[in-house]
Amino acid sequence: MSYQARFRVWRGDEAGGELTDYEVEVNEGEVVLDIVHRLQATQTPDLAVRWNCKAGKCGSCSAEVNGRPRLMCMTRMSTFSPEETVTITPMRTFPVIKDLVTDVSFNYEKAREIPSFQPPEGVAAGEYRMAQEDVQRSQEFRKCIECFLCQNTCHVVRDHEENKAAFAGPRFLMRQAELEMHPLDARKRRAEEAQEEHGLGYCNITKCCTEVCPEHIHITDNALIPLKERAVDRKYDPLVWLGSKIRRRTG
């Protein structure tokens, strides 16, 4: 079941680079990251790539495979025909460091701008009581593995460097939604904060983020839209909030 595949991998650094062609063996059951590792071991040992778990759990090996933002460890070679050339490029929204490795510090800066969980006053450790159905909504968002593919894909920043300062991106707007829906978070006005300070208004719910999420989190439907509705609702209409609950998708 082995065959020789044609790969094109972007090689270069901040000064520039180009797609380089490789012919490389592919075996049954392999994923794109296996092939990148084979390139390192047999043809180009200094090919830079991030990876950790190779099981879709850590979110390190994000890249664009044939133009689609993907985790390389979860992209099986069987999804391509043996004749097809597979092209791997680094995530486009973040500055390149070297080859497939990008500078994702934007995301860590945004993470720091979202106010942390605020514990409820007068509730001691060990005394937290929450119902499963109430934690479930935030738990969906906490499945996030921080691969930053949603941040990479979101058109607000993908080709608009100028928006980066004012826009936290889907991952961190979702973090606000997660805390907003946390049954015991004591901080008020998170939805309004998301709107006023973290650029929620830039999002026009095209759902690109949801589409690329390897964890299949319904970022738009379950986090961003309800957050938008809450932001509006507190100012205008309490019924909108109810609507958001009915519309919520599960699974």
Partner 1 sequence: MTEAERHTYDVVVIGAGGAGLRAAIEARAHGMRTAIICKSLFGKAHTVMAEGGIAASMGNVNSNDNWQVHFRDTMRGGKFLNHFRMAELHAREAPDRVWELETWGALFDRTKDGRISQRNFGGHEYPRLAHVGDRTGLELIRTLQQQVVALQQQDEREFGDPEARIKVFAEHTVTRILKDGSRVAGVFGYARETGRFFTIEAPAVVLATGGIGKSFKVTSNSWEYTGDGHALALLAGAPLMNMEFVQFHPTGMVWPPSVKGILVTESVRGDGGVLRNSEGDRFMFKYIPDVFKSQYAQGPDEADRWYADPDNNRRPPELLPRDEVARAINNEVKEGRGSPHGGVFLDVSTRMPAEEIKRRLPSMHHQFLELADVDITAEPMEVGPTCHYVMGGVAVDPDTAQAEDVPGLYAAGEVAGGMHGSNRLGGNSLSDLLVFGRRAGLHAAEYAGGIGADRPVVGQQAVDAAAEEALRPFGLAEMVEPDGPPEGGGPPENPYTLHTELQQTMNDLVGIIRREPEMREALQRLARLRARAKQAVVEGHRQFNPGWHLALDLRNMLLVSECVARAALTRTESRGGHTRDDFPTMDREWRRKLLICRLAAGAETAEVTPRPNPAMRRDLMELFDAEELQKYLTDEELQHYSSEDAEGQE
| Interface with partner 1 (CB under 8 A) | 13, 27-31, 34, 40-42, 44-60, 74, 76, 97-99, 101, 103-104, 108, 111-112, 115-117, 119, 125-126, 128-132, 135, 138-139, 142-143, 145-146, 179, 182, 185
DSSP letter at 123 equals: -
Of 170 and 233, the one with the shorter C-beta distance to partner 1 is: 170
Shortest separation between residue 240's beta carbon and partner 1, angstroms: 26
Shortest separation between residue 74's beta carbon and partner 1, angstroms: 6
Q: What is the crossing angle of helices 170-180 and 190-197, to 10°?
A: 160
Of 80 and 243, the one with the shorter C-beta distance to partner 1 is: 80
DSSP letter at 224 equals: I
DSSP letter at 10 equals: E
- What distance, in Å, lies between the first and last C-alpha atoms of the chain? 36
Please report where in the chains the tokens 């998301």 appear, as a residue: 194
Q: Pairing mode, if any, of strands 62-65 and 85-89?
A: antiparallel
Of 155 and 197, the one with the shorter C-beta distance to partner 1 is: 197
Of 138 and 195, the one with the shorter C-beta distance to partner 1 is: 138
Q: Pairing mode, if any, of strands 3-13 and 85-89?
A: parallel
